[in-house]
Amino acid sequence: MKTHPGRSAALVVAGVLALAGAAAAQLPAEPIGRVEVLPATLGPHWVWASDPLLERIALVDLDRGEMLGMINGGWGITTGVFPRSRPEVYLPETHYSRGSRGVRTDVVTFYDARTLAPTGEVVLPPKRANNVLPSANTALSDDDRFLAIFNMTPATSLSIVDVEHRRFTSEISTPGCALAFAAGSRRFATLCGDGALLLITLDDAGHPTSKRRTAPFFDPIADPVTEKAVRWRDSWVFVSFGGEVYRVDFSGEEPTFEAPWSLLDGVDPEESWQIGGMQHLAIHEPTGRLYSLMHRGGADTHKQAGTEVWIHDLASHERVQRIDLRGPGLTVMGVPLAFGEDWLWPFDGLYGWLVDTLTTYVGVGEIAVTPDDRPLLVTAADYSGSLGVYDALSGELLRRVISGNFATVALQAPWNGMRAEE
């Protein structure tokens, strides 16, 4: 007996659907409304990766190679603030009533560190600065009491929030000076256009009691520092576009400035090594090691992605190691461009060569180092959601990890022994 082709196709489709339905019927019903809770002990190898496209920060476990959660930050690029004394995350956010337009509202939102659920917010003046690397847009005082948020309209100022009592306290004008760096329990520093620092001291109510400028500590015309400073104990370490290292110690009543030294001491100038990338510095606090993202290029190539990480001892100023970087991996809309399930570890062979060759054009734009005794160096690329993970002491490439992000513009490794409450 002949069977009509259309009928045959229908029977095949019906059979496939029946098999699919039978398979689906065997699956247990997925519970809804369940809220996962992070462990009380936060992992030392957990990092936050900022995504400007998905407008979020994602929490990633570098050891297990998985994304643990995320917080949406509203419009623009943001980074989290992580107090040591409270199981909270503070996120400066900008929201528009119609998504990308309409009435603007700036807030600092408080999130529970275990559930990542919002627990409150403080409304700010709608002038919070948004820029490509927002790491110095916000600073938390060393006693975890006051949060300073950098504003630019283009007039510059700081909005001060009492995070303990969850209230806005004051806006402090900072003409000619930008960004925010914690410099004590009641003091913040901002970086000024003439090479000086503006120091702002607060009272217990969060109002300014003094504003004073230091003498310039670098030449903003001949060789300015980048704004991408990193904290080491009571000091901030700045690096100039020419590779000069400036350490400012805020442990005393007045800041002290260490004599500058160069990342490029002993390096042949003909090799044209330069700092590079969007987040080009990291510090491992226990060992006092400074990690610098470097590349070979000419003048004004400081945004070019890095090919090596150089490690210097902050006490001796000597370079102690160089790490050759490999591509962190390629992703499209957060999904890895990979062959098979073992894409994280095939560093040898055709796929490893392909990834490394292609990601040469993506490059490494951001680095961070976890602050524990077995530190990891994590690398990211502006146009990929994948992270490269290295042993920060030996330089060995360990794995590639997916963050779920579309892109990465900032990395944070804020563990520092912090524990979340039960």
**Common-topology check for domains 77-250 and 263-417:** yes
Which CATH number does 77-250 carry?
Answer: 2.130.10.10
pLDDT digits (tens, 9 = 90+) for 362-383: 679 999 999 999 999 999 988 8
Place of tokens 């993202």: 293
Torsion of CA 80, 409, 294, 352, to 10 degrees: 120
Structure-block tokens of residue 193: 């256009």
Reported as a pLDDT band with limits 50, 70 and 90, residue 100 is confident
Of residues 362 and 397, more confidence is placed in: 397
For 260-277, what is the mean pLDDT? 93
Number of helices (H), then strands (E), in the chain: 2, 31
Give Dmax (Cα) for the chain.
Answer: 99
pLDDT digits (tens, 9 = 90+) for 9-50: 444 444 544 544 555 556 677 778 777 889 877 899 999 999
Percent of the chain predicted with pLDDT > 90: 67
Which CATH number does 263-417 carry?
Answer: 2.130.10.10
* Lowest-confidence pick of 115-124, 198-207, 355-364: 355-364
pTM of the predicted model as reported, rounded to 2 decimal places? 0.87
The pLDDT of residue 256: 97
The pLDDT of residue 335: 65
For 334-345, what is the mean pLDDT? 52
CB 237 within 8 A of CB 281: yes
CB 92 within 8 A of CB 136: no
pLDDT digits (tens, 9 = 90+) for 280-330: 999 999 999 999 999 998 888 888 888 999 999 999 999 999 999 988 877
Across all residues in the chain, what is the average pLDDT?
A: 87
The pLDDT of residue 336: 65
Instruction: Give domain limits for the chain.
Output: 77-250, 263-417
CB 246 within 8 A of CB 232: no
